[in-house]
Structure 1
Amino acid sequence: AAEVTFVADLTAQFDQAGLLVRGDAEHWVKAGVELSDGVPQVGAVVTRHVSDWSVAPVPTWRGALVTVRASREGDALTVRVRAGDEPWRLVRVAPLPPGPLQVGLYCCAPTRAGLRVRFTDLRLTEADRSLHD
């Protein structure tokens, strides 16, 4: 599993930060927090030749310390997220083909310059044993 923890100053449309998991150019997942329509959203983009986008509002997470965790079991990638010490929230279970993966942190601000993100931790750990632990 891979985890990244950060605090982001999300102020403009589509400012975002999180974790990227990449099999290849056609198979990847990014998950994190993104400002959309003025509200922080937790979400993921899953790409399997085409991309989809799923989000859910988390207005109380503005300026919060956020951790994103992605764990692979077989051909499934499970993504969870939490703010501070809150319980983990399931964001997505997505298929990824077998093979090596690259993981890393990301941030972007497609509508402005000057996004500030403070990444406080990046770690690799054992994979989660079960979806329902």
Structure 2
Amino acid sequence: MQWFNEPAQWSQAGNQINVTTAPKTDFWRITHYGFIRDSGHFFFETTASDFIAEVKIRGQYQDLYDQTGLMIRADEKHWIKTGIEYVEGVQNLSAVVTHDYSDWSMTPLTDPPAFLQLRVERRKEAIHLAYWNNAVSGYTPFRLAYLAHPSELQVGIMCASPEGNGFEATFEDYRLTLI
């Protein structure tokens, strides 16, 4: 795996990666805010195959839009990120799908788990986003998105602090399974 925008502070031990995000980092393109940000931290590997990516995430979220999760990236104008985004004191299950312009969907987690387990599955141009739901002891899908089917995609973990001074993010049991 390699870094896009490597953070100054990070460590890896066994199945856990800890990151302290840099201030004013983000991934976003144009919509509503009128700016482009491509400064978030993204630790990725490259694949040309369909895949399932899974990870458990948690963060010491404190500032508006602090975020952790999974990311799939074709290039700077075509990518998807999903995970937790902290908005007005609430952790939200979030997804941003970007095709030149970013869109954003989120659902408040009124009782956030200690870790949120995410799953992203790619089948050609279809991207299935899901989270582990303890109530049903399985994954619950929350979004199906389109992402062009280039020869290779980057996939991995991401985190950012768009408004804040940084926070500690933890990723456990990241794995990429080719299908």
TM-score normalised by the chain length of structure 1:
0.86
Q: 1-side partners of 2:86 and 2:110: how far apart?
A: 10
CA RMSD of aligned residues (A): 1.8
Q: 2-side partners of 1:83 and 1:119: how far apart?
A: 18
5+ residue gaps, structure 2, are 1-51
Partner of 1:58: 109
Aligned: 1:21 with 2:72:
yes
Partner of 2:171: 119
Q: 1-side partners of 2:138 and 2:107: how far apart?
A: 16
> Shift of residue 77 of structure 1?
0.5
Runs of 4+ in 1 over 4 A off after TM superposition: 83-86
- Counting matched residue pairs gives 126
Partner of 1:44: 95
> Shift of residue 126 of structure 1?
4.3
Q: Check whether the contact 1:23–1:101 (CA below 8 A) recurs between aligned residues.
A: yes
Aligned: 1:69 with 2:139:
no
Q: Check whether the contact 1:5–1:67 (CA below 8 A) recurs between aligned residues.
A: yes
Partner of 1:108: 160
> Shift of residue 26 of structure 1?
1.6
Identity of aligned residues (%): 35
Which of 141, 145, 153 aligns to 1:94? It is: 145
Please give the secondary structure, in 1, of the residue aligned with 2:111.
Answer: helix
> Shift of residue 81 of structure 1?
1.4
Q: 1-side partners of 2:69 and 2:153: how far apart?
A: 16
Please give the secondary structure, in 2, of the residue aligned with 1:3.
Answer: strand
Q: 1-side partners of 2:172 and 2:71: how far apart?
A: 16
Q: Check whether the contact 1:61–1:83 (CA below 8 A) recurs between aligned residues.
A: no
Deviations 1:97-130 (A, max 9, x none): 1121101111111222230111112101244xxx
Partner of 1:82: 132
Q: Check whether the contact 2:96–2:105 (CA below 8 A) recurs between aligned residues.
A: yes
In our comparison, the structure showing a higher alpha carbon Rg is 2
Q: Check whether the contact 2:133–2:140 (CA below 8 A) recurs between aligned residues.
A: no
